[in-house]
Amino acid sequence: MRPNLVCYCVVKILVAAFYSIQPFKVKELAELKEFLKFRSGELGIMGMTILSPEGVNSTMSGEEQSLKSFLGEIDEKYFPKTPQFKLSWSQKHPFKRFSLKFRAEIVTADFAPSRNLISQDIETGLISPSKFRELLKKQGGVTVLDTRNDYEVMLGKFEGAIDPQIQNFKQFSNFLEKADLPKDKPTLIYCTGGIRCEKAVGELKAKGFREVYQLDGGILNYIEQFPNDGFEGECFVFDKRVALDQELRPTENYQLSFETGFPIPKILKE
């Protein structure tokens, strides 16, 4: 008599983080909102999306085929310039639902987005992870500046990078006012996926920094290409995975505090 064979099929969830800086009219945002709500429901997509007159900032999750189909549809229909989708995996959805939020800015800052996102030619400062790595190894010849919050930097940062010790990005401009940073040598800036750097690079230039270079695709793009090479620790992400390790896998070392919502070392079960 043959034994009963049970097949356990593990369905891995694909996670995509992306942003697109482009002007949207109110009518276009309303149309995009309805499309996202309708198609995400049909395809079982979950995540968090911020819609703004200056662009879109989103992290989504779903089964691989469904999510890739969804990303292809919104890319073709709404983004004239294809955003860089940063992909990683999770054993389960890092979100409970698909939520949409309207905000004045795709990432909140205390400096004018119109100055930094429209007037500045921000793309001229984008450099690839390989070029960033090359400049990073010079150390003394460049300033490496983290633009993230203190609880993010605590989990990991680039070797030799300056921690601005801010609690939110709105404090970044004030940090630049008070910090004694050299303005006459190259400054390398980075963040999780790149979106905060889009604003930070304009603010640095407005304050007199001559050469500012932004890591294209942020930490997630860098460690995908160069794991355990320059970036130390793990990268905080704004979902239930808490952080990603050097292989872009959900952290086994940190969890979110129930009291504060900030990352803390995970309590290991004996």
In order, the DSSP letters of 199-257 are HHHHHHHHTT-S-EEEETTHHHHHHHHSTTSSEEE-EE-SSTT-EE-TTSPBPSSEEE-
Mean pLDDT of 224-238: 97
The question of whether 7 is a catalytic residue gets the answer no
Mean pLDDT of 254-259: 93
Residue in 69, 72, 73, 70 with CA at minimum distance from that of residue 98: 70
What does the pLDDT read at residue 121? 46
Instruction: Tell me how far apart the alpha carbons of residues 127 and 214 are, in angstroms, rounded to a whole number.
Output: 6
Residue in 133, 141, 142, 146 with CA at minimum distance from that of residue 200: 146
Q: Which of 9, 191, 197, 235 is catalytic?
A: 191
CATH number of 113-265: 3.40.250.10
* SS3 label, residue 101: strand
The top-level CATH class assigned to 13-102 is alpha beta
Please check the confidence at residue 162 and state whether its pLDDT lies above 90.
Answer: yes
* SS3 label, residue 154: coil
Please check the confidence at residue 8 and state whether its pLDDT lies above 60.
Answer: no
On whether the CB atoms of residues 198 and 21 are closer than 8 A, the answer is: yes
Hey, where are the domains in the chain?
13-102, 113-265
Phi, psi of 23 (to 5 degrees): -75, 135
What does the pLDDT read at residue 125? 84
Spell out the residues 6+ positions from residue 91 whose beta carbon is closer than 8 angstroms to its own: 10, 12, 13, 250
Tell me if 13-102 shares its fold with 113-265.
no
Residue in 167, 204, 207 with CA at minimum distance from that of residue 187: 204
Spell out the residues 6+ positions from residue 6 whose beta carbon is closer than 8 angstroms to its own: none
The reported pTM is: 0.86
Mean pLDDT of 20-39: 93
